């Protein structure tokens, strides 16, 4: 009986082992899926960031300090760059010329540039962008709805519409204490890509006959000038390589400004003779010839002498913006710290959800 019982127990154990052997091992279903299936079912592993107070404060304060330091560096560089701005109290309609005295108290060292600045003049509205030269050349004056034909002296216009009804054509001559003109050049005031697309006809590039220029623009191109233009488009410069639609001042003016107060590059200083190092300090006389006819009320104009730095043209707003953003980051860090100390929970009391799939794998 005892032997029979033992034999029965051994048989049961062997049967149990065979049953366990017959049951296949548990297979992870994710391993059987392709990459596309995992992606569509959102089963791909992903990083789940845990936002904690200390790392977040370190990042916020560090970025804020970097912004404040950058703002201080930018402000220092901007203050280092000397910029002389002279307000021109002339009338576009009543005055023909004006003379101003500019006192340069310090030597302006480097590549000196001369600019003009307009205030309360808008180049950024819709009509400036609507009327383009290519459309007026293709479809004629009928495609220019911004102005009626009556304001023009003839029956067609150079380009058309709001953006080209007025052109800033005032001329500036800077004289030293001996009444000698300061050497200026228009080289480098426009980009090469602008000159590539703004070209006159090949017939005019080597032609110095003003009558042929006039015939070409008025008869072949059907281009005239607005009554707001003091000079016609074929009379913009005695240097015919810088005349017509390829005139550099004309190209500079056609580039619309984003704000109502803007500056545009006029000339660069020729660093030769006594101007090798830049513009020496002293008293200078600025002669302004008014060639622009404009009736816009409230428009102010300025003449600027400055030097571009590695930051570009002097603008105090950049440094102020960096410092303000940095201070706002510090203020936000302080506020979040107070909120954390009053309402925050300790990390030990935080309960994180358990991934059921990972729990099944561990069993």
Coil vs helix vs strand at 11: helix
Coil vs helix vs strand at 321: helix
- From start to end of the chain, where are the E strands? 83-88, 97-104, 108-109, 113-119, 171-175, 184-185, 262-269, 278-279, 282-289, 300-306
Q: What angle do CA 293, 295, 300 make, to 5 degrees?
A: 90
Residue 165 predicted with pLDDT over 50: yes
DSSP string, 272-291: -GGGSSEE-SEEEEEEEE--
> Encoding tokens for residue 308?
């571009």
Q: In what order do the strands lie in the sheet with 262-269?
A: 83-88, 300-306, 113-119, 262-269, 184-185
Coil vs helix vs strand at 83: strand
Give 113-142 pLDDT, tens digit per residue: 999 999 888 877 666 655 554 444 444 445
Terminal Cα distance for the chain, rounded: 41
d(CA 224, CA 80): 46
Q: Are 292 and 47 in contact (CB under 8 A)?
A: no
Report the share of the chain in percent with pLDDT over 90.
23
Return the percent helix, strand and coil in the chain, to nearest 5. 45, 15, 40
Give 175-196 pLDDT, tens digit per residue: 999 999 999 999 989 888 877 7
Residue 148 predicted with pLDDT over 80: no
Domain ranges of the chain: 47-81+316-363, 82-126+166-207+225-308
d(CA 171, CA 146): 28
DSSP string, 15-38: HHHHHHHHSPPP--GGGGS-HHHH
Mean pLDDT for the stretch of residues 145-153: 42
H or E segment and range at residue 74: helix 53-80
pTM, two decimals, is: 0.66
Q: Are 340 and 106 in contact (CB under 8 A)?
A: no
d(CA 61, CA 333): 7
d(CA 131, CA 159): 8
Residue 337 predicted with pLDDT over 70: yes
d(CA 237, CA 242): 6
Tokens 């006039």, residue located:
214
Q: Which of 266, 269, 265 is nearest to 184 (CA)?
A: 269
Give 231-284 pLDDT, tens digit per residue: 777 788 888 888 887 889 888 987 888 888 899 999 999 999 899 999 999 999
pLDDT of residue 155: 44
Going from the C-alpha of 19 to that of each of 11, 15, 22, 25, 108, the distances in angstroms are: 12, 6, 5, 12, 97
Give 289-317 pLDDT, tens digit per residue: 887 766 666 788 899 998 887 776 667 78
What is the phi-psi region of residue 320: left when phi exceeds 0, alpha when psi lies from -120 to 50, beta otherwise? Answer: alpha
């Amino acid at each position: 009986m005892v032997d029979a019982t033992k034999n029965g127990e051994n048989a049961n154990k062997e049967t149990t082992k065979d049953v366990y052997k017959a049951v296949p091992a548990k297979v992870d279903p994710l391993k059987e899926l392709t990459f596309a299936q995992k992606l569509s079912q959102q089963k791909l592993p992903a990083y789940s960031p845990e936002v904690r107070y200390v790392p977040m404060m370190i990042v916020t304060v560090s970025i804020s300090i970097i912004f404040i330091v950058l703002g201080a560096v930018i402000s220092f560089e901007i203050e280092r760059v000397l910029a002389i701005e002279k307000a021109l109290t002339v009338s576009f309609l009543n005055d023909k010329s004006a003379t101003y005295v500019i006192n340069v108290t310090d030597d302006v060292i480097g590549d000196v540039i001369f600019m003009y600045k307009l205030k309360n003049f808008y180049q950024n509205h819709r009509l400036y962008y609507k009327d383009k030269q290519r459309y007026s050349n293709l479809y004629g004056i009928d495609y220019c709805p911004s102005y009626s034909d009556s304001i023009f002296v003839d029956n067609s216009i150079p380009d058309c519409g709001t953006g080209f009804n007025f052109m800033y054509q005032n001329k500036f001559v800077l004289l030293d204490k001996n009444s000698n003109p300061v050497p200026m050049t228009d080289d480098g005031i426009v980009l090469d890509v602008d000159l590539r697309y703004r070209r006159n006809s090949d017939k005019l590039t080597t032609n110095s006959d003003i009558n042929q220029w006039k015939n070409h623009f008025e008869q072949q191109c059907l281009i005239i000038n607005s009554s707001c233009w003091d000079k016609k488009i074929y009379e913009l410069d005695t240097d015919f390589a810088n005349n017509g639609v390829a005139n550099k001042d004309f190209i500079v003016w056609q580039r619309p400004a984003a704000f109502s107060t803007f500056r545009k590059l006029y000339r660069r200083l020729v660093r030769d003779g006594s101007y090798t190092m830049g513009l020496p300090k002293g008293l200078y006389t600025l002669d302004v010839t008014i060639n622009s006819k404009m009736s816009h009320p409230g428009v102010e104009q300025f003449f600027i002498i400055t030097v571009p730095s590695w930051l570009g043209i002097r603008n105090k707003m950049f440094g102020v913006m960096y410092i303000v953003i940095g201070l706002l980051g510090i203020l936000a860090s302080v506020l979040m710290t107070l909120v954390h100390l009053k309402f925050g929970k300790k990390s030990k009391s935080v309960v994180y959800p358990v991934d059921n799939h990972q729990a099944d794998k561990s069993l």
